[in-house]
Amino acid sequence: MNKKAFNTQCIHGDEKKYDTTGAVSMPIYQSATFAHPSVGESTGFDYSRLQNPTREHLENTIAQLEAGHKALAFSTGMAAVTTLMTLFEPGDHIIASDDLYGGSHRLFHHISMRYGIRFSFTSMADPKEVEALIEKDTKGIFIESPTNPMMQVTDLRQMALLGKSHSLLVMVDNTFLTPYYQRPLALGADVVIHSGTKYLGGHNDTLAGLLVVKDVDLHEKLSFYAKTIGACLSPFDSWLIIRGIKTLPIRMDYQQKSALFLAKWLKEQRQIKHVYYIGLEDHPGYNISISQASGFGGMISFEVTSESLARQILEKVKVIQYAESLGGVETLITYPMLQTHGDIPKPEREAKGINERLLRLSIGLESVEDLLKDLEQAMEDG
């Protein structure tokens, strides 16, 4: 049978059948435990912390979409990253993007380092700079591309080649672009991370995290750590992510179209100092983006002329909602210095450009004309 198109895979997911009723929607197997047919026998499911049919369907679906071997679903994106860090031991060294989601920064600095894992943070723009940081104890490279919130783009093929030449585990957070626009495993990465809360779920109604790998042994290790730590995704939340994935391509195409329109409009406004959107041709990572991804996504960061204007926009938006998170059908605006990156020390945060004038937009599915009018009125007289 020929491989199905991406849109078809999103809708139908994994072909394994669990139900005999003909239910079109994957059933929610809301069971903590499963009965054994007899002593020493199993249906393949014993206890939902270990595996559950609804979660397995989601895992197999996202593994197929990412062109991976297997996937694991977790209760949050940070639960996924935390489990990933259990692969490393005290003394191990990891090179990571210097513009990271605040939750990853908090985990690495306040927990992973306490257990003896060392980190070097750097821009991933130049592979030579990354290579210069490799030590005898370096075990991995942790990448966000595009980064949150400054939208830096990494050449994933170059990083994968660098990782392979030094036997390093290359881990890529693909939350912003999803497998619809970017497939890091196909570009040579070893692990893909998702906050399923965002675009995969797409409705701002659940939390989830996912790890996708292409190596059998690596999956076995992570599976053991996942069942031991126990931060598994519940059956109902698994179903919500399955539901969200069904409309992923349609949502992302619409969001991207609106994002490009608004990014171009923002660039023309006198109150805007800088617009960070990877779909703009003057973005430093534009050419890399078009070489490794099929789209630019719906995330925009922009710097306004003053802190007072930033706060005015946050207080005056009506259609756009001032809230943390991203990737849902509702357009959200975030103040990174107070929200996603509030735990990062001010000097370090401001050195990255995350200052009191920076705002981040996650474009939803509203009329782009309504979003533009909302921004216009919020910026008026500012």
Active-site annotation holder among 14, 92, 99, 101 = 101
Asked if 180 is an active-site residue, the reply is no
CA distance 247 to 200: 9
| 335 CB burial (10 A radius; 0-12, 13-18, 19+) | buried
Query: Do 88 and 140 contact (CB within 8 A), yes or no?
Result: yes
d(CA 26, CA 57): 8
Distance of alpha carbon 291 from alpha carbon 289, whole angstroms: 5
41 C-beta neighbours (distance < 10 Å), count: 7
49 is an active site residue: yes
**Considering only CA atoms, which of 352, 357, 344 is closest in space to residue 302?**
357
Q: Which of 92, 98, 99, 173 is catalytic?
A: 173
Q: Which residues of 220-248 are buried (b: 16+ CB within 10 A; e: fewer)?
A: eebbebbeeeebbbbbebbbbbbbbbbbb
Which listed residue (18, 49, 215, 243) is catalytic? 49
311 is catalytic: no
Q: Any catalytic annotation for residue 101?
A: yes
Catalytic residue among 70, 198, 214, 352: 198
The residues carrying an active-site annotation are 49, 101, 173, 198
